[in-house]
Amino acid sequence: MEYLAGSPVRRRDEGLYFLAVMAGGLAVAMVDSSFNNFLAATWDISGLARSSLELPRELPGFLNAFVAALLAFLPGRRIGAFSFLLQALGIYLLASFSATFGHMTLWLFTYSLGLHLFLPLQQSIALELASSGAEGALLGKANALRNLAQIAGGAFVFIAFGFFKLSFAANFLLAALVFAAGALALFGMSRPARDKNAEALVFKRRYGLFYILSILYGTRKQLFITFAPWVIVSVYHKPTSIMAALYFAGGIAGVLFQPFIGRAVDKRGERFMLGLEALLLIPVCFFYGFAKIIFPEAIAFIIVCLCYVADSLLLSFSVARSVWMKKIAEKPGDIAPTLAMGVSIDHIFSIAVALLAGLLWDKFGYQWVFLAGAGIAVINFVATRFVRVPDASAVGPLTAVKTP
Protein backbone atom coordinates (compact mmCIF):
# COMPACT_ATOMS: atom_id res chain seq x y z
CA MET A 1 0.00 0.00 0.00
CA GLU A 2 1.39 3.37 -1.02
CA TYR A 3 0.91 6.33 1.28
CA LEU A 4 0.92 10.00 0.47
CA ALA A 5 3.95 11.62 2.11
CA GLY A 6 3.00 13.13 5.44
CA SER A 7 -0.60 11.85 5.32
CA PRO A 8 -2.39 11.37 8.68
CA VAL A 9 -2.85 7.64 8.03
CA ARG A 10 0.85 7.23 7.36
CA ARG A 11 1.89 9.18 10.46
CA ARG A 12 -0.54 7.21 12.60
CA ASP A 13 0.66 3.87 11.24
CA GLU A 14 4.29 4.82 11.77
CA GLY A 15 3.55 5.83 15.37
CA LEU A 16 1.75 2.55 16.09
CA TYR A 17 4.54 0.58 14.43
CA PHE A 18 7.18 2.28 16.58
CA LEU A 19 5.07 1.62 19.69
CA ALA A 20 4.90 -2.08 18.80
CA VAL A 21 8.65 -2.26 18.17
CA MET A 22 9.36 -0.63 21.54
CA ALA A 23 6.87 -2.91 23.30
CA GLY A 24 8.63 -5.92 21.78
CA GLY A 25 12.06 -4.66 22.81
CA LEU A 26 10.94 -3.91 26.37
CA ALA A 27 9.19 -7.27 26.91
CA VAL A 28 11.95 -9.36 25.31
CA ALA A 29 14.54 -7.69 27.56
CA MET A 30 12.37 -8.41 30.61
CA VAL A 31 12.27 -12.09 29.65
CA ASP A 32 15.81 -12.63 28.39
CA SER A 33 17.56 -10.86 31.26
CA SER A 34 15.82 -13.08 33.85
CA PHE A 35 15.22 -16.39 32.05
CA ASN A 36 18.50 -18.12 32.98
CA ASN A 37 18.05 -17.15 36.62
CA PHE A 38 14.48 -18.48 36.43
CA LEU A 39 15.80 -21.84 35.21
CA ALA A 40 18.45 -22.01 37.91
CA ALA A 41 15.99 -21.10 40.67
CA THR A 42 13.19 -23.40 39.51
CA TRP A 43 14.97 -26.55 38.26
CA ASP A 44 18.25 -28.15 39.16
CA ILE A 45 19.21 -28.94 35.56
CA SER A 46 22.51 -30.04 34.08
CA GLY A 47 24.50 -28.16 31.49
CA LEU A 48 23.33 -30.66 28.86
CA ALA A 49 19.68 -30.05 29.77
CA ARG A 50 20.25 -26.31 29.57
CA SER A 51 21.87 -26.57 26.15
CA SER A 52 19.01 -28.80 24.98
CA LEU A 53 16.64 -25.88 25.51
CA GLU A 54 18.30 -24.15 22.56
CA LEU A 55 16.37 -26.54 20.28
CA PRO A 56 12.88 -25.28 21.23
CA ARG A 57 14.27 -21.75 21.30
CA GLU A 58 15.86 -21.90 17.82
CA LEU A 59 13.65 -24.39 15.96
CA PRO A 60 10.96 -21.71 15.39
CA GLY A 61 13.57 -19.69 13.48
CA PHE A 62 13.97 -22.57 11.03
CA LEU A 63 10.16 -22.98 10.80
CA ASN A 64 9.61 -19.26 10.28
CA ALA A 65 9.02 -19.28 6.49
CA PHE A 66 6.58 -22.18 6.73
CA VAL A 67 4.56 -20.70 9.61
CA ALA A 68 4.40 -17.38 7.76
CA ALA A 69 3.15 -19.25 4.67
CA LEU A 70 0.32 -20.81 6.70
CA LEU A 71 -0.73 -17.32 7.83
CA ALA A 72 -0.34 -15.74 4.39
CA PHE A 73 -4.10 -15.19 4.12
CA LEU A 74 -3.58 -12.33 6.61
CA PRO A 75 -1.83 -8.99 5.93
CA GLY A 76 1.64 -8.71 7.44
CA ARG A 77 0.49 -6.28 10.13
CA ARG A 78 -2.13 -8.74 11.37
CA ILE A 79 0.44 -11.56 11.35
CA GLY A 80 2.61 -9.22 13.43
CA ALA A 81 -0.20 -8.75 15.92
CA PHE A 82 -0.65 -12.53 16.05
CA SER A 83 3.10 -12.99 16.67
CA PHE A 84 2.89 -10.65 19.67
CA LEU A 85 -0.12 -12.55 21.01
CA LEU A 86 1.87 -15.79 20.67
CA GLN A 87 4.69 -14.25 22.69
CA ALA A 88 2.23 -13.00 25.31
CA LEU A 89 0.51 -16.41 25.52
CA GLY A 90 3.78 -18.35 25.68
CA ILE A 91 5.31 -16.27 28.44
CA TYR A 92 2.01 -16.14 30.38
CA LEU A 93 1.73 -19.94 30.30
CA LEU A 94 5.41 -20.25 31.22
CA ALA A 95 4.81 -18.04 34.26
CA SER A 96 1.59 -19.75 35.36
CA PHE A 97 1.59 -23.37 34.19
CA SER A 98 5.16 -24.69 34.27
CA ALA A 99 4.64 -27.45 36.80
CA THR A 100 7.00 -29.72 34.85
CA PHE A 101 10.09 -29.15 32.75
CA GLY A 102 8.23 -30.54 29.74
CA HIS A 103 5.41 -28.01 30.11
CA MET A 104 7.92 -25.17 30.43
CA THR A 105 9.66 -26.33 27.24
CA LEU A 106 6.35 -26.31 25.34
CA TRP A 107 5.55 -22.75 26.49
CA LEU A 108 9.11 -21.67 25.64
CA PHE A 109 8.59 -23.00 22.10
CA THR A 110 5.31 -21.05 21.83
CA TYR A 111 6.98 -17.84 22.98
CA SER A 112 9.95 -18.34 20.65
CA LEU A 113 7.63 -19.07 17.70
CA GLY A 114 6.02 -15.65 18.10
CA LEU A 115 9.41 -13.99 18.63
CA HIS A 116 10.91 -15.40 15.44
CA LEU A 117 7.75 -14.79 13.42
CA PHE A 118 8.08 -11.06 14.04
CA LEU A 119 11.77 -10.82 13.08
CA PRO A 120 11.18 -10.44 9.32
CA LEU A 121 7.87 -8.66 9.86
CA GLN A 122 9.59 -5.83 11.72
CA GLN A 123 11.49 -5.19 8.50
CA SER A 124 8.75 -5.87 5.94
CA ILE A 125 6.21 -3.65 7.73
CA ALA A 126 8.79 -0.85 7.88
CA LEU A 127 9.45 -1.26 4.16
CA GLU A 128 5.71 -0.88 3.52
CA LEU A 129 5.61 2.32 5.54
CA ALA A 130 8.78 3.96 4.25
CA SER A 131 8.93 6.41 1.39
CA SER A 132 11.05 5.34 -1.57
CA GLY A 133 14.68 6.16 -0.81
CA ALA A 134 14.07 6.46 2.95
CA GLU A 135 13.73 2.79 3.86
CA GLY A 136 17.06 2.61 5.67
CA ALA A 137 16.28 5.68 7.76
CA LEU A 138 13.00 4.22 9.00
CA LEU A 139 14.56 0.84 9.77
CA GLY A 140 17.45 2.53 11.57
CA LYS A 141 15.04 4.56 13.70
CA ALA A 142 13.04 1.42 14.54
CA ASN A 143 16.20 -0.45 15.59
CA ALA A 144 17.31 2.48 17.76
CA LEU A 145 13.92 2.63 19.50
CA ARG A 146 13.99 -1.12 20.07
CA ASN A 147 17.48 -0.81 21.60
CA LEU A 148 16.27 1.98 23.87
CA ALA A 149 13.35 -0.16 25.02
CA GLN A 150 15.67 -3.12 25.65
CA ILE A 151 17.86 -0.94 27.85
CA ALA A 152 14.75 0.12 29.78
CA GLY A 153 13.71 -3.53 30.13
CA GLY A 154 17.10 -4.55 31.48
CA ALA A 155 17.07 -1.64 33.92
CA PHE A 156 13.57 -2.60 35.09
CA VAL A 157 14.67 -6.17 35.84
CA PHE A 158 17.80 -4.95 37.65
CA ILE A 159 15.79 -2.59 39.88
CA ALA A 160 12.70 -4.78 40.33
CA PHE A 161 14.64 -7.89 41.32
CA GLY A 162 17.47 -6.14 43.15
CA PHE A 163 15.46 -3.72 45.27
CA PHE A 164 11.83 -4.90 45.26
CA LYS A 165 12.33 -8.69 45.12
CA LEU A 166 9.91 -9.12 42.22
CA SER A 167 9.09 -12.76 41.51
CA PHE A 168 9.82 -14.44 38.18
CA ALA A 169 6.11 -15.14 37.66
CA ALA A 170 5.20 -11.49 38.19
CA ASN A 171 7.95 -10.34 35.83
CA PHE A 172 6.80 -12.72 33.08
CA LEU A 173 3.16 -11.72 33.54
CA LEU A 174 4.10 -8.05 33.19
CA ALA A 175 6.06 -8.92 30.05
CA ALA A 176 2.98 -10.72 28.67
CA LEU A 177 0.94 -7.54 29.19
CA VAL A 178 3.57 -5.51 27.33
CA PHE A 179 3.45 -8.00 24.44
CA ALA A 180 -0.34 -7.70 24.41
CA ALA A 181 -0.03 -3.91 24.19
CA GLY A 182 2.28 -4.35 21.19
CA ALA A 183 -0.31 -6.62 19.56
CA LEU A 184 -2.96 -3.93 20.02
CA ALA A 185 -0.68 -1.34 18.41
CA LEU A 186 -0.13 -3.52 15.35
CA PHE A 187 -3.81 -4.41 15.15
CA GLY A 188 -4.64 -0.69 15.24
CA MET A 189 -2.65 -0.02 12.07
CA SER A 190 -4.57 0.39 8.83
CA ARG A 191 -5.18 -2.81 6.90
CA PRO A 192 -3.46 -2.70 3.50
CA ALA A 193 -5.04 -4.33 0.49
CA ARG A 194 -3.77 -7.88 0.08
CA ASP A 195 -2.44 -9.07 -3.24
CA LYS A 196 -4.51 -12.19 -3.95
CA ASN A 197 -1.88 -13.42 -6.40
CA ALA A 198 0.93 -13.22 -3.87
CA GLU A 199 2.69 -16.52 -3.13
CA ALA A 200 2.66 -17.80 0.43
CA LEU A 201 6.08 -19.46 0.22
CA VAL A 202 8.75 -17.88 -1.97
CA PHE A 203 12.02 -19.55 -2.96
CA LYS A 204 13.24 -18.27 -6.32
CA ARG A 205 16.51 -18.42 -8.20
CA ARG A 206 16.17 -14.67 -8.67
CA TYR A 207 16.86 -14.19 -4.96
CA GLY A 208 19.82 -16.58 -4.80
CA LEU A 209 22.29 -13.89 -3.72
CA PHE A 210 19.92 -12.77 -0.99
CA TYR A 211 19.85 -16.34 0.34
CA ILE A 212 23.65 -16.53 0.22
CA LEU A 213 23.92 -13.25 2.15
CA SER A 214 21.40 -14.63 4.68
CA ILE A 215 23.57 -17.72 5.18
CA LEU A 216 26.67 -15.58 5.73
CA TYR A 217 24.72 -13.33 8.12
CA GLY A 218 23.60 -16.38 10.13
CA THR A 219 27.18 -17.60 10.51
CA ARG A 220 28.62 -14.23 11.58
CA LYS A 221 25.65 -13.63 13.91
CA GLN A 222 26.44 -16.85 15.74
CA LEU A 223 29.99 -15.64 16.38
CA PHE A 224 28.61 -12.57 18.14
CA ILE A 225 25.82 -14.32 20.05
CA THR A 226 27.76 -17.37 21.25
CA PHE A 227 31.52 -17.08 20.94
CA ALA A 228 32.30 -13.40 21.52
CA PRO A 229 30.73 -13.48 25.03
CA TRP A 230 32.40 -16.83 25.71
CA VAL A 231 35.82 -15.34 24.99
CA ILE A 232 35.19 -12.61 27.54
CA VAL A 233 33.92 -15.08 30.14
CA SER A 234 36.27 -18.03 29.62
CA VAL A 235 39.46 -16.49 28.22
CA TYR A 236 39.47 -13.20 30.14
CA HIS A 237 37.59 -14.65 33.15
CA LYS A 238 35.17 -11.73 33.55
CA PRO A 239 32.00 -11.96 35.71
CA THR A 240 28.37 -11.56 34.66
CA SER A 241 28.41 -7.90 35.70
CA ILE A 242 30.98 -7.15 32.96
CA MET A 243 28.79 -8.83 30.33
CA ALA A 244 25.81 -6.83 31.57
CA ALA A 245 27.84 -3.63 31.26
CA LEU A 246 28.88 -4.54 27.71
CA TYR A 247 25.27 -5.35 26.81
CA PHE A 248 24.31 -1.92 28.14
CA ALA A 249 27.14 -0.22 26.23
CA GLY A 250 26.11 -1.97 23.02
CA GLY A 251 22.54 -0.83 23.56
CA ILE A 252 23.56 2.79 24.09
CA ALA A 253 25.77 2.67 20.99
CA GLY A 254 22.81 1.30 19.03
CA VAL A 255 20.50 4.08 20.16
CA LEU A 256 23.07 6.68 19.12
CA PHE A 257 24.35 5.20 15.85
CA GLN A 258 21.63 3.01 14.31
CA PRO A 259 19.71 5.99 12.86
CA PHE A 260 22.96 7.09 11.16
CA ILE A 261 23.51 3.57 9.83
CA GLY A 262 20.00 3.53 8.39
CA ARG A 263 20.45 6.91 6.68
CA ALA A 264 23.84 5.80 5.35
CA VAL A 265 22.13 2.84 3.66
CA ASP A 266 19.85 5.30 1.84
CA LYS A 267 22.69 7.67 0.87
CA ARG A 268 25.62 5.33 0.13
CA GLY A 269 23.68 2.30 -1.07
CA GLU A 270 23.25 -1.28 0.01
CA ARG A 271 26.32 -2.63 -1.79
CA PHE A 272 28.64 -0.15 -0.07
CA MET A 273 27.21 -0.73 3.43
CA LEU A 274 27.17 -4.54 3.18
CA GLY A 275 30.75 -4.49 1.90
CA LEU A 276 31.81 -2.10 4.66
CA GLU A 277 30.33 -4.39 7.31
CA ALA A 278 32.27 -7.35 5.91
CA LEU A 279 35.55 -5.43 5.82
CA LEU A 280 35.16 -4.09 9.36
CA LEU A 281 34.34 -7.55 10.68
CA ILE A 282 37.79 -8.85 9.61
CA PRO A 283 39.81 -6.83 12.19
CA VAL A 284 37.09 -7.40 14.80
CA CYS A 285 37.48 -11.17 14.42
CA PHE A 286 41.28 -10.87 14.39
CA PHE A 287 41.39 -8.96 17.68
CA TYR A 288 38.85 -11.29 19.31
CA GLY A 289 41.26 -14.13 18.60
CA PHE A 290 44.70 -12.56 18.98
CA ALA A 291 44.53 -9.43 21.14
CA LYS A 292 45.70 -11.39 24.20
CA ILE A 293 48.73 -12.68 22.27
CA ILE A 294 49.73 -9.27 20.90
CA PHE A 295 49.01 -6.95 23.87
CA PRO A 296 49.23 -7.05 27.68
CA GLU A 297 46.05 -8.60 29.07
CA ALA A 298 44.56 -5.34 30.42
CA ILE A 299 44.93 -3.60 27.06
CA ALA A 300 43.81 -6.71 25.19
CA PHE A 301 40.62 -6.85 27.26
CA ILE A 302 39.80 -3.20 26.46
CA ILE A 303 40.32 -3.94 22.76
CA VAL A 304 38.04 -6.99 22.94
CA CYS A 305 35.36 -4.92 24.69
CA LEU A 306 35.56 -2.33 21.90
CA CYS A 307 35.27 -5.17 19.38
CA TYR A 308 32.14 -6.43 21.18
CA VAL A 309 30.42 -3.04 20.97
CA ALA A 310 31.52 -2.59 17.35
CA ASP A 311 30.27 -6.10 16.54
CA SER A 312 26.83 -5.31 17.95
CA LEU A 313 26.66 -2.23 15.72
CA LEU A 314 27.82 -4.15 12.65
CA LEU A 315 24.83 -6.47 13.03
CA SER A 316 22.65 -3.41 12.34
CA PHE A 317 24.09 -3.16 8.84
CA SER A 318 21.76 -6.05 7.96
CA VAL A 319 19.05 -3.44 7.29
CA ALA A 320 20.84 -2.90 3.97
CA ARG A 321 20.03 -6.49 3.01
CA SER A 322 16.32 -5.93 3.66
CA VAL A 323 16.25 -2.64 1.75
CA TRP A 324 18.03 -4.30 -1.18
CA MET A 325 15.46 -7.11 -1.11
CA LYS A 326 12.69 -4.56 -1.58
CA LYS A 327 14.48 -3.05 -4.57
CA ILE A 328 15.07 -6.34 -6.39
CA ALA A 329 11.67 -7.88 -5.61
CA GLU A 330 9.87 -9.15 -8.68
CA LYS A 331 6.61 -8.00 -7.08
CA PRO A 332 5.68 -6.46 -3.71
CA GLY A 333 4.13 -9.73 -2.51
CA ASP A 334 7.55 -11.40 -2.65
CA ILE A 335 9.12 -9.15 -0.01
CA ALA A 336 7.68 -10.50 3.26
CA PRO A 337 7.89 -14.25 2.41
CA THR A 338 11.44 -13.84 1.08
CA LEU A 339 12.54 -12.06 4.26
CA ALA A 340 10.90 -14.90 6.24
CA MET A 341 12.76 -17.45 4.12
CA GLY A 342 15.98 -15.56 4.88
CA VAL A 343 15.35 -16.01 8.63
CA SER A 344 14.75 -19.75 8.15
CA ILE A 345 17.92 -20.16 6.09
CA ASP A 346 20.10 -18.13 8.47
CA HIS A 347 18.93 -20.25 11.42
CA ILE A 348 19.80 -23.52 9.68
CA PHE A 349 23.37 -22.39 9.19
CA SER A 350 23.77 -20.51 12.48
CA ILE A 351 22.89 -23.67 14.44
CA ALA A 352 25.28 -25.76 12.31
CA VAL A 353 28.06 -23.18 12.71
CA ALA A 354 27.59 -23.16 16.49
CA LEU A 355 28.24 -26.92 16.62
CA LEU A 356 31.19 -26.85 14.20
CA ALA A 357 32.82 -23.83 15.83
CA GLY A 358 32.45 -25.45 19.25
CA LEU A 359 34.36 -28.49 17.98
CA LEU A 360 37.00 -26.21 16.44
CA TRP A 361 37.38 -24.33 19.74
CA ASP A 362 37.81 -27.55 21.75
CA LYS A 363 40.26 -29.19 19.36
CA PHE A 364 42.46 -26.29 18.19
CA GLY A 365 41.70 -23.29 20.43
CA TYR A 366 39.47 -20.23 20.34
CA GLN A 367 41.79 -18.34 17.96
CA TRP A 368 40.83 -20.68 15.13
CA VAL A 369 37.14 -19.95 15.60
CA PHE A 370 37.77 -16.27 14.93
CA LEU A 371 40.20 -16.96 12.10
CA ALA A 372 37.32 -18.87 10.51
CA GLY A 373 35.09 -15.87 11.26
CA ALA A 374 37.50 -13.58 9.44
CA GLY A 375 37.45 -16.00 6.52
CA ILE A 376 33.64 -15.86 6.47
CA ALA A 377 33.89 -12.05 6.45
CA VAL A 378 36.16 -12.21 3.39
CA ILE A 379 33.67 -14.49 1.60
CA ASN A 380 30.88 -12.11 2.62
CA PHE A 381 32.77 -9.16 1.13
CA VAL A 382 33.23 -11.02 -2.16
CA ALA A 383 29.50 -11.85 -2.21
CA THR A 384 28.55 -8.20 -1.67
CA ARG A 385 30.46 -7.25 -4.85
CA PHE A 386 27.66 -8.98 -6.79
CA VAL A 387 24.92 -6.84 -5.21
CA ARG A 388 23.15 -4.80 -7.86
CA VAL A 389 20.03 -2.64 -7.78
CA PRO A 390 17.59 -1.90 -10.61
CA ASP A 391 18.72 0.68 -13.14
CA ALA A 392 17.63 4.07 -11.80
CA SER A 393 16.61 5.13 -15.29
CA ALA A 394 14.28 2.17 -15.65
CA VAL A 395 10.56 2.61 -15.19
CA GLY A 396 9.10 1.15 -11.98
CA PRO A 397 10.70 0.08 -8.71
CA LEU A 398 10.66 -3.63 -9.45
CA THR A 399 12.54 -3.68 -12.73
CA ALA A 400 14.69 -6.76 -13.26
CA VAL A 401 18.17 -6.60 -11.81
CA LYS A 402 21.13 -6.53 -14.13
CA THR A 403 23.59 -9.31 -13.41
CA PRO A 404 27.21 -8.34 -12.83
**What is the per-residue pLDDT across 41-75, written as a single tens digit (0 to 9) for each?**
888 766 667 667 877 888 899 999 999 999 998 99
Least confident of 231-235, 271-275, 341-345: 231-235
- Give residue 396's pLDDT: 42
Is the pLDDT higher at 283 or at 40? 283
- Give residue 1's pLDDT: 42
Average pLDDT over residues 201-214: 94
Band (240; pLDDT cuts 50, 70, 90) = low
For the stretch 208-217, pLDDT in tens is: 999 999 999 9
- Give residue 277's pLDDT: 96
Average pLDDT over residues 218-227: 84
CATH 3.20.20.70 fits 1-194, yes or no: no
- Give residue 328's pLDDT: 95
SS (H, E, C) the chain: CCCCCCCHHHHHHHHHHHHHHHHHHHHHHHHHHHHHHHHHHHCCCCHHHHHHCHHHHHHHHHHHHHHHHHCCCCCHHHHHHHHHHHHHHHHHHHHHCCCCHHHHHHHHHHHHHHHHHHHHHHHHHHHHHCCCCCHHHHHHHHHHHHHHHHHHHHHHHHHHHHHCCCCHHHHHHHHHHHHHHHHHHHHCCCCCCCCCCCCCCCCCHHHHHHHHHHHHHHHHHHHHHHHHHHHHHHHCCCCHHHHHHHHHHHHHHHHHHHHHHHHHHHHHCHHHHHHHHHHHHHHHHHHHHHHHHHCCHHHHHHHHHHHHHHHHHHHHHHHHHHHHHHHHCCCHHHHHHHHHHHHHHHHHHHHHHHHHHHHHHHHHCHHHHHHHHHHHHHHHHHHHCCCCCCCCCCCCCCCCCCCC
Least confident of 102-106, 154-158, 183-187, 197-201: 197-201
Most confident of 3-12, 150-159, 271-280, 360-369: 271-280
For the stretch 294-329, pLDDT in tens is: 999 999 999 999 999 999 999 999 999 999 999 999
Asked whether residue 81 carries a pLDDT value surpassing 80, the answer given is yes
Is the pLDDT higher at 112 or at 398? 112
For the stretch 330-359, pLDDT in tens is: 998 999 999 999 999 998 888 788 778 888
Asked whether residue 394 carries a pLDDT value surpassing 50, the answer given is no
Asked whether residue 386 carries a pLDDT value surpassing 60, the answer given is yes
Least confident of 52-56, 121-125, 204-208: 52-56
- Give residue 349's pLDDT: 83
Within the chain, all domains assigned CATH 1.20.1250.20 are found at 1-194, 202-391+397-401
Q: For all residues of the chain together, what is the average pLDDT?
A: 89
**CATH architecture entry for 202-391+397-401:** Up-down Bundle (1.20)
Asked whether residue 403 carries a pLDDT value surpassing 80, the answer given is no
